[in-house]
Amino acid sequence: MSTSLTRGFGGPLRYIQGPGELNKIQEYTEKYGDACIVIDGFLYESICEKLTKIFAGKETNFTAICFNGECCREEISRIQEKALDANAGVFVGIGGGKTLDTTKLCADEKGLPVIVVPTAASTDAPVSEIAVLYTKDGEYIGSKKLSRNSDLVLVDTEIILTAPKRLFAAGIGDALATYFEALACSNSDSPH
């Protein structure tokens, strides 16, 4: 058994949480230029309406892309192409785990910063440097380690509070499972 005391921890560059934080998204993206914002389908219309008001009259703009529901190579390519056409300087993902993983992969492959805005407390995707890939039909392919964590995790607690209760319950279950994952990592004596 190793006796190393070295431990590693990866996390986002910044984590901001509070009510109404999505209303400041233009301020968080402006230093990068125009934003490519990938939005979960069930929130697309309401978030686009909100973003239009937030970015109105500002020097930077945004391109909204409705996420098609699967973190797959085809979806990543589609989003990257639209971001390239829009000359985006930052990717923003708003939604659940697959939306956030897709956005993180798009940014990682293009070498651009990424901001993630989770819409429920039921996923580790916002703070993980791992993204899970599927086929376009939803079959699991594998996980990919990204070159870095998100530049910003932005948690708007007003959005989190309106998420379906089943997602909140799933988040509690995930948090309980994370305890055992962390315990196993700690007991492994691995430096990473």
Q: Which of 112, 142, 116, 111 is nearest to 128 (CA)?
A: 116
Per-residue model confidence (pLDDT) at position 192: 55
H-run or E-run covering 63: strand 62-66
What span, in angstroms and rounded, lies between the C-alpha atoms of 62 and 173? 35
Q: Is 57 exposed, middle or buried (0-12, 13-18, 19+ CB in 10 A)?
A: exposed
Count CB atoms within 10 A of the CB of residue 118: 26
pLDDT, residue 87, reads 97
Q: How confident is the model at residue 1 (pLDDT cuts 50, 70, 90)?
A: low
Which single residue is written with the structure tokens 């993630």? 116
Residues 10-53: tens digit of each pLDDT: 789 999 999 999 999 999 999 999 999 999 999 999 999 999 99
Under the banding of pLDDT at 50, 70 and 90, the label for residue 186 is confident
Write out pLDDT tens, residues 114-155.
999 999 887 778 888 999 999 999 999 999 999 999 999 999
Find the mean pLDDT for residues 57-74: 97
- pTM attached to this predicted model: 0.88
